[in-house]
Homo-oligomer: A and B are copies of this chain.
Amino acid sequence: MLRRMSEIRALTFDVFGTVVDWRSSVIRHCEAFGREHRLAADWGAFVDDWRYDGYMGGIGRVIRGEAPFTTADNLHRAKLGALAAAAGWKGVSEIDLDALNHAWHLLDPWPDAVAGLERLRSRFVVSTLSNGNLSLLVDMARHAGLHWDAVLSADVTGAFKPDPLCYQAGARFLGLQPDQVMMVAAHKGDLKAAQKAGLKAAFVPRPLEAGPNRDVDLSPDPAFQYMASDFHALADQLGCP
């Protein structure tokens, strides 16, 4: 049986970009927000700034010890406040911004994600291992119809990826040795950090994640145990029915 051969018992998934199409989803929420509040913007650039500078920049400051640990919701909300102030938005309340921030809880899955995940779940424990917070991931799973066996997140592990503590805590909560767990992600940095922490790695590149203005590294890397074009292809490779 493949499961014993590979000794992989659980798959832990990066979520933003790997399971869900955050960029298109949030742009759509922003466009609706813009129509409602009569605000115009280049929403693609707005969302990129929100994501890459606000969220990922904020995680970097926490990991470097320059800021205290916090949640994805708080990082998103702080950056949104700054973006709204910089743009000089009028007639937009703090409650309106809270509602827009909730867009990150309601991201749409890639077309293969729900059914592919269910195939993978037939043979492996499937869990998130995301820098999102648990409540964000729970809302997203309910919105998208994703069935996780467990929701593991930075607030549960107490550390953001790529801190090795996050991966190690994930394996510990699942009752497994790190090498019984395989990280599934569209991002090489996440996978390399997972491997450094003792996990295995499956690379599922998502060429459409970053929109038209950013390059996405889709090149194979033989260091990863698996590479697949989507979750169905990964399920095929792992012998899932």
Interfacial residues, chain A to chain B (CB-CB below 8 A): 73, 125, 127, 133-136, 138, 141-142, 147, 149-151, 155-156, 173-176
A173 near B125 with CB under 8 A, answer no
List the 10 closest pairs (A to B, CB-CB), nearest first: A135-B175, A134-B173, A150-B151, A138-B149, A138-B150, A135-B174, A156-B156, A125-B138, A134-B150, A142-B149
| Of the residues B149, B173, B175, B176, contact of A156 by C-beta under 8 Å | B173
A173: contacting residue among B135, B142, B175, CB under 8 A: B135
Smallest CB gap from A155: residue in B: B173
Find out whether the CB atom of A174 lies under 8 angstroms from the CB atom of B125.
no
Interchain nearest-CB distance for A235 vs B (Å): 17
A138 / chain B contacts, CB cutoff of 8 Å: 125, 127, 149-150, 174
Structural contact, B142 and A174, CB atoms closer than 8 A: no
Q: Contacts of A151 on B, CB cut-off 8 Å?
A: 149-151
Bound together, the chains give a CA A174 to CA B155 distance in angstroms of 11
Shortest Cβ distance from A149 into chain B, in angstroms? 5
Q: A124 to nearest B CB, angstroms?
A: 10
Contacts of A134 in B (CB 8 A): 150, 173-175
In the complex, what residue of chain B is closest to A175 when comparing beta carbons? B135
Choose from B133, B136, B155, B176 the contact partner of A135 (Cβ within 8 Å). B176
CA distance A138 to B127 in the complex (A): 10
A142/B125 in contact, CB under 8 A: yes
Contacts of A135 in B (CB 8 A): 173-176
Instruction: Find A133's partner among B136, B149, B175, B176 (CB 8 Å cutoff).
Output: B175
Within the complex, what minimum Cβ distance (angstroms) separates A155 from chain B?
7
Which residue of B is nearest A71, CB measured?
B175
Chain B's closest residue to A9 (CB) is B135
**B73 and A175: CB pair below 8 A?**
yes
